[in-house]
Structure 1
Amino acid sequence: MPKKSDKTTIDTMTPAQQARHAQIMVDFERDVEEFIDHTRIERGFSENTAQAYARDLAQYAAWLCSAGIAAVCEVQPSHVLRFAHELRAARPNPATEGRVYSNASVARKLAAVRSWHKFLARERDYPDPAAKLDGAHTVRRLPHVLSVEQVQAMLASPAPGEPGGVRDRALLELLYASGLRASELCALRAQDLDLENGFVRCQGKGDKERVVPLGEVARQAITEYVSFARPKLLAPKIARRPSSLLFIGDEGQPLSRITLYQIVRFHAQRAGLPEWVSPHTLRHSFATHLLEGGADLRAIQEMLGHANITTTEIYTHVETQHLRASYLKAHPRA
């Protein structure tokens, strides 16, 4: 473990180093803020819990920066273990910011670190340097997936003929037809669609562009939205600068991830689906149903925008789990 004197402090930095340090911290804070939004919206954390996680991760980010880490993707398991070791130390040190923490506080801080890295691994295909922290957290959970019948019930929920309902149907159909991430859908522009040939072009994590095919049902739903609902939703903004984004809110404003999550949850509840349903659930269902239908794993990897095939392989475990459940339910000697 390096001595405290090995770490560079703000006071000993040159002006150029201080500027670089400030920019690195801004990047870390952006990554943390995205995760905290996720905890509030998709995981249902209370404001107090979300703020506690935010403080813990701000402390972790500051420690990483002082240890010479310039980006989250550079964090190694050794860094996470060293941070954990310093948190547990019985004396003040750089990780503890001069304090000695209780076991409960250390456990919460490490839970925040694990959850943050797991989130970034899923959303950006980063390596997860905290996967083996404490050993007990090495089991990878299988994602929640809806059945085809559950998806159909959800897609039938939006009210036809109403601008908001037509928009909701279009975005739900697109999420399930393409497997887009919530952030990717919210960033789509009209010119990213090729409805004639049935493709959507999106900018994924790491600014990687990919093209995903669209089915006929999704194309029809999007066409109705673009020709009928979007102009009506955009009307309040016509006098001002209209949004160039494909999906917009009820007042013509760009659709946020929070609003998208609320729309998905609303229609999931109307369809009687579990409370864990989120935009990402439709992405998981998209991949699993493709695999169950015989699609090639590499093709699914490309459509999902995964940098590593091992990220996509989780859906083979989901399919196996479903097959076993069907076997146990149907076989007379199971």
Structure 2
Amino acid sequence: MYKQDRQLILEDGTIYKGYGFGAETEMKGEVVFNTAMTGYQETLSDPSYNGQIVTFTYPLIGNYGINRDDYETINPTIKGMVVREICQKPSNFRQEFTLDEVLKELDIPGIAGIDTRSLTRKIREAGTIKGVITSIEKNSDEVLAELRSTDLPTDQINQVSTKKSFMSSGRGYRVVLLDCGAKSGIVRELNARDCDIIVMPHNSTAKEILRQKPDGIMLSNGPGDPTDVPETIETIKDLIPQVPIFGICMGHQLIALASGAKTYKLKFGHRGANQPVKNILTGRVDITSQNHGYAVDIESLKDTDLELTHIAVNDGTCEGVRHKKYPVFSVQYHPEASPGPHDPNYLFDEFINNMKNFKESNK
């Protein structure tokens, strides 16, 4: 039986006591939950979770270990991991490390042995909430007071976006990937279609992007509030009439804002690999991978050049839009999966077709 040595303290005063794994360090962050049954390595390394403490609803985490191939970024930036049970002796032919070993190396704390069902219900009822993982020996009243007085950072995209442009060469269409915290899965899907990719910082100007003579622009996923990067919104506004664009997750929200629509914070967000999305143009329903805390306001689309294309089956929120005049479209979910189902993978092919048609029409 493990000895309780760590605690998760929430800003409402709730305390969960459990046993620690990963790094022996104190971390604060926004506490969220993820409903995926697998994919904890991809979740751990997804830049969209920057600054968050991730709770897994699936009761056993770590049972197939960690391998070198399934990372979504080289430097994960989550603030902590909360699980019901951590597997200390995983068994899988691809395993190279345990989850505990990797979190220690990354200086990320974890807490296990708590009632994750209770914590998930609390987040669903009260909304996402600030929390801190700390030693059980710390005075909880003092920790709580410090937590309540701490403002979480709002520069998450700047933290995870590349600082310098770089290439992933191919012989096909040239795509500028505007990096707001891009997952490696997006690059893999474009590479699989032989795209010539130039990854650029989120704050690149339209002039700098167009200087690369792109056939298309990919707007990546990313963490936080999309209104925190007004310079990126202005850049996208300039780019929309000039080149085909495909936006994913944060990229979807930025296209909406650049077109005059509005976004808002969801109560507890959509995070998991089992989210049904309906294409209202075709009636097709895809099961999708999602990770976002903000959404596009459907009502605000009415006075823009965007039309609604997809909705979430569970709550009716906006999951996709397309431009009425230009070859620009976006989805709130992750067609590259990593982790999750590959139902919407065809959207990358639609992007390729948009670039092809646009290039042929401008010969």
- TM-score bracket, normalised by the shorter chain, equals under 0.3
If each structure's strand is expressed as a fraction of its own residues, which one has the higher value?
2
- Structure index of larger Rg: 1
If each structure's helix is expressed as a fraction of its own residues, which one has the higher value?
1
Taking structure 2 as the reference length, the TM-score comes to 0.25
